[in-house]
Amino acid sequence: MRTKGLQTSTTVCPYCAVGCGLIVHTKDGKIVNIEGDPEHPINQGSLCSKGNALFQVANNERR
CATH fold of the domain at 7-58: N-terminal domain of TfIIb (2.20.25)
Residue ranges per domain, the chain?
7-58
Q: Tens of pLDDT along 28-50?
A: 989 999 999 999 999 999 999 99
Q: What pTM did the predictor assign?
A: 0.85
CA-to-CA distance for 13 and 37, rounded, in angstroms? 11
Quick one: average pLDDT of 44-62? 91
Residue 49 dihedral angles phi and psi, to the nearest 5°: -65, -35
- Rg for the chain, CA atoms, rounded: 12
